[in-house]
A and B are shown apart, each in its own frame.
Chain A
Amino acid sequence: MEIQFVLNDKQVKAEVGADTILLNVLRDLGCKSVKCGCETTNCGLCTVWINGKSRLSCSVLAASIEGESVTTLEGVEKEAAQFGEFLADEGAEQCGFCSPGFIMNVLAMARELQNPTLDEIKEYLAGNLCRCTGYMGQLRAIKKYIEVKNAEKKGGKEE
């Protein structure tokens, strides 16, 4: 069957089977940031936004997103690059394989929670696994990123 949906603000079409998974369709459409990790909904590598909510594309049937809006890392490159600088500053990346899904969920959290505590950040990101870093660098990066974003919102842009 043919489905039509909005991918990163552009209308796209794809030919899918009844059991085709969204993750595979997105990769076929060129969104290579979307990775397949565990395929059991635990690792968060395949995180995308569907209608603005972070979801796991390894468990979404492509047929079910007819008419919906999907955003991948390719659709939020500017924001992702900004947060990526904080990750780099904290030495928070090693192999980088988890980063696309991780960044998508961090950006979703930054939109949803105004000023999250460390516990709230940990809880929000519990579904994003990183086997290299131990998370400490990432948590430092997130705290600093959110501080800067909040300062920007208040109009007092920090260096």
Chain B
Amino acid sequence: MLTIGNYVKAKTPEEAYELNQARSSRIMGGMMWMRLSNARVKTLIDISGLGLDQIEETEDEIRIGAMCTLRQIEQSEAVKKLCGDGIEEAVRHIVGVQFRNQATVGGSIYGRFGFSDVLTAFLALDTYVELYDGGRICLAEFAKKKPDNDLLLFIVVKKKKRQFRYDSIRQTKTDFPVIACSVSREKANGQETWYFAVGARPMKADMIEKKWSVAKDASLEKIEEYAALAAAEFKYGTNMRGSAGYRQHLAKVLIKREIMSILSEEI
């Protein structure tokens, strides 16, 4: 059961950060997972008044406030323009609309949950997080860090021309994924780079990149070979939703489908 001593609605990021330095303080996101936790929180810090609930688009990046809801990124035209249907696909399976109207992007990213579709999706994009104290660091690096008392302000996606796909397997609708994979391809200065992120392994998502030149008319066998190579670079675990071997098999299948989908796209 979660018990909370004091509730404070922070007026500035500085106030939120200072309050969060106490060991028994916590920042409040959408409260979806914290509510289910067994914890005694002395001070709960509400950052909903800090204007972090907007998606801003500039010439070279999309800046998503930490308090934007999953529903906002699902419906954002700017996100759709950059990522196609990939982000929508990543979040549309998460419980229901009411849940997604409440769960925040910051909560998902900061939590670095093993089951997170959101983290898996953003890892295959050129994504950074902006922290109050830690400044801007790339998401892959942030995902590997241990949770600390910093304050997540923004998730920033660079507007690089990446073809992006997301797919997951669930045993039942609205459940956590058994496996989740996102794949993207970037072509710059004659160099082709593929990014593969696999989440719900069931450990938290990780990302690898490969300088592969995959021919548009590559055979199915060749694509399966690439998919197997990529899937084999991740570690998998076993839990009630699936064994490590099954997860690796599914990762290979999803990555294959995503590579095929990217290759078939006219650019």
Contacts and interface: CB of A to CB of B under 8 A. Distances in A.
Interface of A: 1, 17-19, 40-42, 44, 47, 53-56, 58-61, 63-64, 66, 105, 108-109, 123-128
Interface centre among B9, B46, B92, B102, by most chain A C-beta atoms within 10 angstroms, is: B102
A152 B174 CA distance: 34
B31 A105 contact: no
A127 B102 contact: no
16 contacts: A1-B7, A19-B7, A53-B101, A55-B102, A56-B99, A56-B102, A59-B30, A61-B4, A61-B46, A63-B46, A64-B7, A105-B97, A123-B92, A126-B174, A127-B99, A128-B96
Contact of B99 (A19, A41, A123): A41
Contacts of A1: 7
Given A18-B6, A64-B48, A126-B173, A56 B28 contact: no
A54 B4 CA distance: 25
Contact of B32 (A17, A59, A64): A59
B5 interface: yes
Nearest to A68: B48
A19 B102 CA distance: 17
Interface residues of B, number: 27
Nearest to A21: B35
Interface in B85-120: 92, 95-99, 101-102
A54 B71 CA distance: 11
Interface string B138-176: 000000000000000000000000000000000001100
B98 A42 contact: no
B2 interface: yes
Contact of A19 (B4, B71, B92, B97): B4
Interface string B59-103: 000000000000100000000000000000000100111110110
Given A41-B32, A127-B174, A105 B102 contact: no
Nearest to A58: B35
Given A42-B174, A63-B7, A126-B173, 9 more contacts: A18-B44, A41-B35, A42-B95, A53-B101, A55-B98, A55-B102, A61-B7, A64-B7, A127-B98
Contacts of A109: 97
A54 to B, nearest CB: 5
